[in-house]
Amino acid sequence: MSSAAAAKPILYSYFRSSCSWRVRIALALKGIAYEYRAISLIKDGGEQFKDEFRSVNPQREVPVLEIDGHQLAQSLAIIEYLEETRPDGASLLPKDAHQRALVRQVSDAIAQGIQPIQNLRVLNHVGDEKKVEWARHWINHGLAGLEALLAKTHGKYSVGDTVTMADCTLVPQLYNARRFKVDLSQFPIALAIENELIKLDAFKAAHPSAQPDCPESERGTQ
């Protein structure tokens, strides 16, 4: 291993970013220690737009994981990389091709189908007056489709009885749903899965309120 490859991974993260959170869960499930570098998406119009972040991610987004001498972006691409290069520890994708497809289907239903339409950048563009209604509409719509999908795939967790990449995407999305006061009682399967997941140490460690950049005032909001 080169010295770059042997270095401790660095995660560029924002405590409340769903996509950063997904990667934090995956790292915790795999037991990979890392250095946390906070990038505020709020402060000074967004620290991801500072000059020094350009070389880290030309797309100006978190998360970025520096690992094995690479700077990787896009949350699910990072999780797939961890799975391929760190097969030890928790496996976040099943062995069977059809089961793997279901894990990716649930993950993408959230990561492509819900989160992008209600992320901070889109809500800022929609404007303060309409953003709550907008976010609630799209999260409601997306979770309805997701619940129908989970009805076919779930066991104790999103796909069967093992924690997978799908679960790394589910928990942050339900947190966003609560922020926008979506009525989650419509989605009992998603809630039952979440109820199991939040018992796990990895999910506790990855929660926004446990991150170094979480303001004191929000630490009680688990």
Task: Point out which residues bind its own copies (CB under 8 A).
Answer: 58-61, 68, 70, 72-74, 76-78, 80-81, 84-85, 97-98, 100-101, 104-105, 107-109, 111-113, 115-117, 122, 125, 137-138, 145-146, 148-149, 151-152
| Contacts of 7 by beta carbon, 8 Å cutoff, 6+ apart | 66, 69
Closest-CA residue to 71 (of 43, 89, 87, 52): 52
CB of 24 to its own copies, least distance (A): 18
Please identify, using beta-carbon distances, which residue of 113 and 160 lies nearer to its own copies: 113
In a 3-state reduction of DSSP, which class is residue 107? helix
Please identify, using beta-carbon distances, which residue of 66 and 200 lies nearer to its own copies: 66
CB of 114 to its own copies, least distance (A): 8
Q: Is the peptide bond before 63 cis (omega within 30 degrees of 0)?
A: yes
Please identify, using beta-carbon distances, which residue of 112 and 222 lies nearer to its own copies: 112
Please identify, using beta-carbon distances, which residue of 80 and 194 lies nearer to its own copies: 80
CB of 80 to its own copies, least distance (A): 6
Whether 164 contacts 157, CB under 8 Å: yes
Please identify, using beta-carbon distances, which residue of 84 and 201 lies nearer to its own copies: 84
CB of 3 to its own copies, least distance (A): 17
Q: Could you tell me whether strands 10-13 and 35-38 are parallel, antiparallel, or unpaired per DSSP bridges?
A: parallel
Sheet holding 64-67, edge to edge: 35-38, 10-13, 64-67, 70-73
CB of 74 to its own copies, least distance (A): 4
Please identify, using beta-carbon distances, which residue of 72 and 200 lies nearer to its own copies: 72
CB of 209 to its own copies, least distance (A): 25
- What ranges in 112-213 are assigned the alpha helix state H? 120-126, 131-153, 165-179, 188-197, 201-206
Closest-CA residue to 84 (of 165, 173, 175, 155): 165
